Chains A and B, each alone.
Chain A
Amino acid sequence: MTSTSPTETHVAPQADHGDPARSWLARVAEGRAWLFLAGLIICFEVWSRLSFGATFVLNPFNVQSIAIFAVAPLLLATGQTFVIISGGIDLSLGFIMGLAAVVAAHATNMAGVAMPVPLAMMLGILAAVIVAGVPGVINGLLISRLRIPPFIGTLGMFGVARGAAFLLAGGTTVPVQNSWFALLGNGRFYGVPYLVIIAAVFVVVMHYILSQTRFGQHNYAIGANVQAASRAGIDIKGHILRLYVLSAMCAGLGGALYAARFTAGAAQAGEPLLLDSVAAVVIGGASLFGGSGTIFGTVAGALVIAVIQYGLVFVNVEPFWQFIAVGLVIIVSVLIDQAQRRFSGARQDE
């Protein structure tokens, strides 16, 4: 106490590394998904006007189509956001979604025989979400109790869910006979598709869970330093279990909404969406090393992908360019993240 001068005990001046480039870069890195989104929309607007003399983004049909297009990948990506922040990854979400879509179709049809149409629809959705939770429980137990790395455990579940979904569907798509279900998937409320409303409400709830609850807070802590979280008394095993159930149930809802949109359940419904979900999370600003990311970042990430995919079709570019464009955005996004990390000096102890 006596040997310390006042300047040494007052930490604030030293803590500010005083590098304006750092905070500038940090801000860009934080909001990079929204910047990408704005840039893309401007690009497509210019492209569309030059090529066809037509507007891209001011056309409500385009906006609506992109929004609907983004719903299923966004639902997978919100679950994936939680998992990636915790330092894990869930590769099984795509086929859990397919499984849920098939379950939703079967359950709605079966329930429809015995009960009113709206009730059958609700039971179908509920069944899809609950059944999706089962592979989530298995993922969670494999990772938390048997200490299987998330990549491997969920890769195994990827295969299991895939097989189960195709078996349950009998190798084909399962049409849904339910007028309410079809309305849910294709109807509108004052011009806004029901699917988009459901997704928006869902995103707000998930944002609340991630940013305002202990579960969300512990998720960030576990992703940054699982040992510290454990020493602080957080039940890591319980958290990991709940985490993978949550992400699987997100995929379950995604599957049910898919079945509603196409009035059919298909096992392969989510297959192409898995990598899109990881891409949306990464573009949205999360680090694959865990510890960072936000739901609204992921929303922007999912919209970036949807805009690229829809926009390139709109301006008549061969669809294969979509893959290249999304891939490039992922790489640029990760480069920005790494540059920001290097400048922030956040990893001094590594």
Chain B
Amino acid sequence: MNSSEQTAPLLEVRHLSKHFGAVQALNDFSMAVRPGEVVALAGDNGAGKTTLIKAISGVFQPTGGEILLRGQPVTFATPQEAREKGIETIYQDLALADNLSIGANIFLGREPMRKVFGFLPVLDRKAMAVAAKQTMGRLDFHVSRLDAPVSNFSGGQRQAVAIGRAVYWDAQILIMDEPTAALGVPEQRKVISLIHQLKAQGRGVIFISHNLQDIFAVSDRIVVLRRGIQAGERKISETNHDEVVKLMVGG
């Protein structure tokens, strides 16, 4: 843990505020994510978790404060800009096109093309399939049917495809919003093991969950939000369920 704290943060949020009219959704919030670190974001409904990740991922601009990427201040006008800088959000409702293959989903919106007969551009499905196989292999998911639509796969496997897309495009920060919420227990464990993979690859992960079990299984640190303010920050190794719950409800 000490070694990771000495490295410079990948992503840093300083004194971030966001208000909607009179409603202060986020107030003077600060946190940092270092390479290879999983930071859990916990808090009750309405605590400001979603506001925070939307500000980080460019869905809307913060009212005050700043976001630093590798020490450089950044602003994102759109989620697209955040993605180009390596911040990828994995949504709980699986942002996949169910009717397309894994490869087509990984490349959705930036499909590789090749030329046939020397002039006619066509989708390079083979390149997509190869990249899909390699990417899923890096996540320790070995899929045989690369041309099958992702609707044929289970929830956890599809979550892996969404993560695979981020990995393929070399996202350095992955924001995962309740990645296990819609899944059965074995599938949840699979996603947790995926997060360990991402960590081992030196990426930063912001992990949002209601499930303390999952948070304690995968995170290095936990940041608790309550009514838009940072209610506390703990190393996972130095805290327990009770303390986190107290921070969340303000006991």
A58-84: CB near B (< 8 Å → 1, else 0) gives: 000000000000000000000000000
Q: Which stretch (B1-9, B38-46, B106-114) binds chain A?
A: B106-114
Q: Does B19 contact A (CB under 8 A)?
A: no
Q: Whole-angstrom distance from the CB of A265 to the nearest CB of chain B?
A: 35
Given the known inter-chain contacts A15-B154, A217-B100, A224-B100, please indicate yes or no for A231 contacting B95, CB distance below 8 A: yes
**Distance between Cα atoms of A3 and B186 in the complex (Å):** 11
Candidates A213, A232, A344; contact of B109 at CB < 8 Å:
A232
Is the Cβ of B154 less than 8 Å from the Cβ of A14? Answer: yes
- Binary interface encoding of chain A residues 195-220 relative to chain B, with 1 for a CB under 8 A from any of its CBs, else 0: 00000000000001001111001101
Q: Are B143 and A229 in contact (CB under 8 A)?
A: no
Verify A227–B95 contact, CB threshold 8 A.
Answer: yes
Q: Is the CB of A233 within 8 A of B80?
A: yes
The verdict on A1 contacting B193 (CB below 8 Å), with A217-B100, A228-B96, A232-B109 known, is yes
* Least CB distance, B16 to chain A, in whole angstroms: 23
Q: How far is the CB of A18 from chain B (nearest CB, A)?
A: 12
Closest B residue by C-beta to A225: B97
Residues in A whose Cβ lies below 8 Å from that of B142? 9-12
Q: Does A51 contact B (CB under 8 A)?
A: no
Which residue of chain A lies nearest to B104 when distances are taken between CB atoms in the complex? Answer: A217
State which of B96, B144, B153, B189 has its C-beta within 8 Å of the C-beta of A8.
B189
Please tell me if the beta carbons of A346 and B143 are within 8 angstroms of each other in the complex: no
- Contact between chains at B189 and A217 (CB < 8 Å): no
The answer to whether A225 and B151 have CB atoms under 8 Å apart is no
Cβ of B229 to closest chain A Cβ, rounded Å = 29
**Contacts of B192 on A, CB cut-off 8 Å?**
3
In whole angstroms, how far apart are the Cα atoms of A346 and B140 in the complex? 24
The verdict on B190 contacting chain A, using a C-beta distance below 8 Å, is yes
A344 lies within 8 A of B151 (CB): yes
Q: In the bound complex, what is the Cα–Cα distance between A217 and B217 (angstroms)?
A: 39
Cβ of A221 under 8 Å from chain B = yes
A residues 6-62 in Cβ contact with B at 8 Å = 8-12, 14-17
Whether A291 and B110, one on each chain, are in contact in the complex, defined by CB atoms closer than 8 angstroms, is: no
Whether B141 lies near A11 (C-beta < 8 A) is yes
> Which of B97, B109, B149 has most chain A Cβ within 10 Å?
B97
Taken together as a complex, chains A and B put the C-alpha atoms of A311 and B182 apart, in Å, by 52
Q: How close is B184's CB to chain A, nearest CB, in angstroms?
A: 11
CB distance from B175 to the nearest CB of A (A): 13
- For window 216-251 of chain B, which residues contact chain A by CB distance below 8 Å? 217
The answer to whether A220 and B97 touch across the interface, beta carbons within 8 angstroms, is: yes
Instruction: Please give, as numbers and ranges, the residues of chain B lying within 8 Å of A225 by CB-CB distance.
Output: 95-98
Scoring A212, A218, A227 by chain B CB atoms within 10 A of each residue's CB, the highest score goes to A212
Q: Which residues of A contact B193 (CB under 8 A)?
A: 1, 3-4, 8-9
- B109 touching A218 by the CB < 8 A rule? yes
CB of B189, distance to nearest CB on chain A (Å): 6
| Interface flag for B127 (CB, 8 Å) | no
A77 to B144, CA, bound (A): 36
CA distance A292 to B100 in the complex (A): 10
B155 within 8 A of A: yes
Are B155 and A348 closer than 8 Å at their CB atoms?
yes
Residues of A within 8 A of B73 (CB): none
Given A15-B157, A213-B123, A232-B95, verify A346-B141 contact (CB < 8 Å): no
Q: Counting CB contacts under 8 A, is B168 at the interface?
A: no
Bound together, the chains give a CA A16 to CA B143 distance in angstroms of: 10
CA distance A233 to B121 in the complex (A): 21
B108 in contact with A229 (CB, 8 Å): yes
- Interface contact B97-A229, CB-CB below 8 Å: yes
Q: Determine if B122 is an interface residue (Cβ-Cβ < 8 Å).
A: yes
Residue A133 at the chain B interface, CB threshold 8 Å: no
Is A318 part of the binding interface, using a Cβ–Cβ cutoff of 8 Å? no
- CB contact between B98 and one of A10, A211, A217, A291 (< 8 Å): that residue: A291
Task: Provide 14 A-B residue pairs closer than 8 Å at the C-beta atoms, listed in order of the A residue.
Answer: A1-B196, A3-B189, A9-B142, A9-B190, A11-B143, A14-B154, A17-B152, A217-B100, A217-B108, A220-B97, A224-B99, A225-B96, A291-B97, A292-B99
B interface list, Cβ under 8 A from A? 79-80, 83, 91, 93-100, 104, 108-111, 113, 120-123, 140-145, 148-149, 151-155, 157, 160, 182, 186, 189-190, 192-193, 196-197, 200, 217
Nearest 4 pairs of A and B residues by beta carbon:
A232-B109, A221-B97, A12-B144, A232-B108
Which A residues contact B (CB, under 8 angstroms)? 1-4, 8-12, 14-17, 208, 211-214, 217-218, 220-221, 223-225, 227-229, 231-234, 291-292, 344, 346-349
